[in-house]
Amino acid sequence: MTDRPVHCCIAGCGPAGAVLGLMLARQGVRVSVFEKHGDFLRDFRGDTLHASTLEIMDELGLADRLLERRHSKVERFQIPTRSGYAILGDFPRIPGKFPYVAFMPQWDFLDFVTTEAKKYAGFELRMNTEVTDLLMKGGAVRGVRWRDADGEGETRAELTVAADGRNSALRGQAWLESKPTAPPIDVLWFRVPRHDGDPDGVFSRGGNGQFLIFLNRFDYWQVGAAIPKATLGEIHASGLDAFKSALGPVAPDFADRFAAIEAWDDVKLLEVRADRLRRWWRPGFLCIGDAAHAMSPVGGIGINYAIQDAVAAANILTEPLLRGAMRLSRVP
């Protein structure tokens, strides 16, 4: 099946793809966004909205409605040291309307953005639809092949955007080369119960060579434990009880809650990676977000850089797309 052509196809409806789709549709660009999952409800995704992102949403006239969604605010972020605490961010010193960091589950953010985007006739979101290949013509990308529950099809477009994350298959199909680095940590994510009287927002604990970060999910805590890179096998070999016992002294007031980790299936590995493409584009094709530059989770910067990518791409490409004047330069 071949769909009606659109101006732009976007593979992946994470923060980069969703915001780009919204911004293009607002200007009358016909855009199809393909998301291989059936919903946005996946744990361990960035939920840190920096002031820069909130300002973007405010310029779009959406910040007030966005912040009606359940969220928490952090005005200062500090980490424990041997001599006390070191302040990494003192956000009330940031000029502007949003002197804080907002923590909102990413599925809520994506639901909000796509709900707003659906108000525009040119926006189409196709869930449970996986982009499988690029359509090529004359050395340029001219759309995508996709698969859904009903079979396979094609959508042709002047521009195809890969916003399909750090494991993007499309960037490889476009022969774009990445430059990797090697952060020295990975992160184990798990949940523990949240009780009345617990602090709001986000906080961290450290000691005994361990570092934990607690993210407020309102009904539970999402906890990240930093581990030396590629040591998951050793941790598994030591046993789940040893893992939980090692966490207790780092956060003694939470020690009893680590019993909620009942099996290794409750502990998910985030393999920390940082890389960037040497070139983000080829004729008719662009990578943004983690597909272009996988980010360390430290500071929650990844989602915010991805949104900045989307804004820059929309500002530069909207007019050429509407005029049918995309210049498909040859890659040297």
* 274-287: pLDDT as tens digits: 888 999 999 999 99
Domain extent at residue 215: 185-270
User: Among 225, 247, 270, which residue terminates a domain?
Assistant: 270
Does residue 57 form part of some domain? Answer: yes
pLDDT of residue 258: 95
- Residue spans of alpha helices (H) in 60-165: 63-66, 106-117
Same domain, 226 and 211: yes
Provide mean pLDDT across the span 298-308.
86
Same domain, 138 and 68: yes
- Asked if residue 331 has pLDDT above 50, the reply is no
User: Among 227, 254, 270, which residue terminates a domain?
Assistant: 270
Does residue 91 form part of some domain? Answer: no
User: Among 227, 243, 270, which residue terminates a domain?
Assistant: 270
Cα(162)–Cα(144) distance, integer angstroms: 10
User: Which domain CATH number covers 307?
Assistant: 3.50.50.60
Length of the chain: 332
Are 16 and 42 spatial neighbours (Cβ–Cβ below 8 Å)?
A: no
Same domain, 288 and 251: no
Same domain, 263 and 294: no
Does residue 97 form part of some domain? Answer: no
* 13-43: pLDDT as tens digits: 999 999 999 999 999 999 999 999 999 877 6
Same domain, 135 and 19: yes
Same domain, 19 and 141: yes
Are 8 and 123 spatial neighbours (Cβ–Cβ below 8 Å)?
A: no
196: exposed, middle or buried (C-beta count within 10 Å: 0-12, 13-18, 19+)? exposed
Q: What are phi and psi of 120, to 5 degrees?
A: -105, 135
Provide mean pLDDT across the span 292-320.
89
Same domain, 283 and 195: no
Same domain, 10 and 123: yes
* 212-252: pLDDT as tens digits: 988 888 889 989 999 999 899 999 999 999 999 999 999 99
- The residue whose two tokens read 């090692």 is 246
Task: Give the H or E element holding residue 160.
Answer: strand 151-162
Provide mean pLDDT across the span 89-94.
74
* 116-147: pLDDT as tens digits: 999 999 999 999 999 999 999 988 999 999 99
- Asked if residue 332 has pLDDT above 60, the reply is no
Same domain, 279 and 223: no
Provide mean pLDDT across the span 40-68.
89
Domains contained in the chain, number: 2
Sign of the C-alpha dihedral computed for residues 37, 43, 46 and 49 taken in this order: positive
- The packing angle between helices 106-117 and 15-26, to 10°, is 20
Does residue 88 form part of some domain? Answer: no
Same domain, 111 and 170: yes
Same domain, 247 and 288: no
DSSP-assigned states of every residue in 8-46: EEEE--SHHHHHHHHHHHHTT--EEEE-SSSSS--SS--
User: What is the band of 306 on the pLDDT scale with cuts at 50, 70, 90?
Assistant: very high
Same domain, 163 and 281: yes
Cα(296)–Cα(25) distance, integer angstroms: 30
